[in-house]
């Protein structure tokens, strides 16, 4: 898939100002670390979302969920989740990104959804909530299906809390199986403008 980016200014700081990150999300852009350690801002076109009213739970995963072999926790170990998401060969999560989102977590905007098994963190995801929008950032797993179960739990929580937008940035085969789609940036921005103004709490 051809990716097109709208890049903004590059920052060189130990931590990005939290309000700058939040304002970026409100305007449809998000930060990523480059190989040289600089931070750039992106607004993909097309943009990927996971429609909350059309979420598809694959049959095989439905069986896993019914077994309840994972315990779901929210925000119980945000730092371990983001550190685990960063531990891969090709990553855009550097120390500056980690510190920035840890601060957003302290302020009540960044959240983790975690799948635990036998007292150990098996997988999870993290993202940012602004109004009625949730911006999914990254996920990881140490046990098969753990990140998928965390995604299911995230969607269920967003549905229960009456969120209206789940932004996944780019579309992957992993997200397609759950009903992920691509929309134009202009369409995304229209949805975003409405979503961030809603009085919702994660």
118, 129, 136, 141, 163 from 92: Cα distances, Å: 30, 20, 14, 17, 27
Strands 47-49 vs 39-42: parallel, antiparallel or unpaired: unpaired
State pLDDT tens for residues 97-140.
999 999 999 999 999 999 999 999 999 999 999 999 999 999 99
Rounded Cα gap, residues 168 and 61, in angstroms? 20
pTM over 0.85: yes
| Predicted local confidence at residue 34, as pLDDT | 94
* Contact call for residues 73 and 149 (beta carbons, < 8 A): no
Handedness of CA 100, 85, 74, 119 (dihedral sign): negative
State pLDDT tens for residues 83-98.
999 998 889 999 999 9
Q: Coil, helix or strand for 123?
A: strand
State pLDDT tens for residues 56-91.
988 888 888 887 789 999 999 999 999 999 998 889
* Contact call for residues 52 and 171 (beta carbons, < 8 A): no
- The secondary structure of residue 70, as a DSSP letter, is S
Which H or E run includes 21?
helix 18-27
| Predicted local confidence at residue 133, as pLDDT | 98
């Amino acid at each position: 898939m051809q990716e097109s980016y709208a890049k903004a200014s590059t920052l060189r700081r130990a931590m990005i100002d939290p309000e700058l990150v939040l304002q970026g999300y409100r305007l449809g852009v998000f930060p990523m670390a480059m190989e040289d350690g600089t931070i750039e801002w992106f607004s993909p076109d097309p943009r990927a979302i996971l429609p909350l009213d059309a979420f598809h739970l694959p049959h095989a995963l439905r069986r896993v969920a019914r077994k309840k072999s994972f315990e779901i926790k929210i925000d119980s170990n945000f730092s371990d989740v983001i550190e685990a998401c960063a531990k891969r060969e090709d990553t855009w999560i550097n120390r500056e990104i980690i510190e920035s989102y840890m601060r957003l977590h302290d302020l009540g905007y960044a959240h983790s959804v975690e799948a635990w098994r036998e007292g150990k963190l098996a997988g999870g995801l993290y993202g940012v909530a602004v109004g009625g929008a949730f911006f999914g950032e990254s996920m990881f797993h140490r046990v098969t299906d753990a990140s998928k179960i965390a995604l299911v739990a995230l969607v269920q929580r967003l549905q229960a809390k009456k969120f209206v937008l789940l932004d996944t940035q780019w579309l992957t085969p992993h997200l397609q199986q759950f009903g992920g789609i691509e929309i134009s940036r202009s369409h995304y921005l229209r949805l975003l403008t409405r979503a961030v103004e809603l009085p919702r709490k994660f």
